[in-house]
Homo-oligomer: A and B are copies of this chain.
Amino acid sequence: MTNIRKVAELAGVSVATVSRTLRSPDVVSPATRDKVLQAVNEAGYKPNLMAVRFRSRRTHNLVVLVPTIANTFFARVISGIQEAAQERGYGVLLCNTNGHEETEATYASLVTTRQADGVIQLRAYNPFPEDADSDGTPLPMVNACEVLDDAPCPTVKLDNRAAARLLTEHLLALGHRRIGMIKGPRRSPLTRDRVAGYRDALEAAGIALDESLICPGDFTPRSGYEAAGTLIARAEPPTAIFCESDEMAIGAISCLKQAGLAIPGDISVAGFDDIDFASYSDPPLTTIAQPAEAFGKQAVAMLIDVLERRHQGEPHRMLPHELVIRGSTGEPAT
């Protein structure tokens, strides 16, 4: 194993000089620098980063807690995280938690056991023990996408309420009065906010809320398929369905078509996220576009800020959304 001592011997200098040449080249004389650099080359020397990091007490790794990576939206967020982290010299440790809180706690301990410097949590859950931040040092975490109401750390999210309202208003403007909703898991703040936006819009339009038109799903196409089946089996089925994810919308469309309904002729469907497939669905999905990669990049920037004790800046960010109108929504049948 070629280590710093070998290089020092080869160059005829001390290990300190080698270290300095590598870390702060301008502090050694040009002559020595050349000697050392040549020795480094000759020996094919690569600093052992485990040693470097051990000594400097920084792993330069970030852990990402994601419910499931097999979700197109999260995959894009992770792409953004990975790219931003790489730029800043950090590695990304990926942790699929499947929503298990014990698993998340285990992963948070990657930080306490010094395998990672901080965590990016993509779910509304604090994996650290209750008293973790009671010592005054900020929690090395940022919470993105699905965010805790009282997150003990910086957050980045969408204005889910406003976005859901915007989409619902689009449906109302088309003339829909019975609008179904396929929401996410019950406990999620993200779902709660989107349902709130949906209510806001209905209320502003003077339409009474029909609870039986709201069906829970889990963001997968399968759950969208099933929920759509439930909705059209209602005595008075909706004329439009707002799905809280494009994946569910795609599942829902599949179910509706199988039931012989035309989209948007018989029933309109809208999604949320604007994943790639949304444009290629038949009909193309009306949806809310989220800046998925930007969530990842922003989260990384914020986390590194707290890790490197930079100015805390504004700790809660909202990223912009956009209503994308495609062919899956139209006027209700008369």
Binding site for B on A (CB under 8 A): 46-51, 53-54, 57, 59, 61, 68-72, 75-76, 78-79, 82-83, 86, 91-96, 109-110, 112-115, 220-222, 225, 247, 250-251, 253-254, 257, 276-277, 279-282, 284
Contacts and interface: CB of A to CB of B under 8 A. Distances in A.
Given A93-B92, A253-B282, A70 B75 contact: yes
Nearest to A111: B46
B50 A59 contact: yes
8 contacts: A50-B57, A50-B59, A51-B114, A70-B75, A83-B96, A91-B110, A221-B280, A254-B284
A92 B94 contact: yes
Contacts of A110: 91
A82 B96 contact: yes
A114 B279 CA distance: 43
Contacts of A112: 46
B61 A82 contact: no
- Report whether over half of chain A's contact residues are helix, strand or loop; otherwise say mixed: helix
A113 B46 contact: yes
Copies of this protein in the assembly total 2
Nearest to A64: B94
Given A61-B93, A96-B79, A109 B46 contact: yes
A251 B110 CA distance: 41
Nearest to A113: B49
A86 B104 CA distance: 12
A283 to B, nearest CB: 9
Nearest to A85: B94
A68 B96 CA distance: 17
Contacts of A96: 79, 82-83
A225 B280 contact: yes
Nearest to A254: B280
B48 A114 contact: yes
Contact of A47 (B53, B113, B254): B113
Contacts of A72: 70, 72, 75
Contact of A94 (B68, B94, B276): B94
A54 B50 contact: yes
A227 to B, nearest CB: 13
Nearest to A249: B280
Contacts of A254: 279-282, 284
Given A221-B276, A277-B277, 14 more contacts: A47-B113, A49-B113, A50-B54, A54-B54, A68-B79, A69-B78, A69-B82, A70-B79, A82-B96, A222-B276, A247-B276, A254-B280, A254-B284, A257-B282
A115 B49 contact: yes
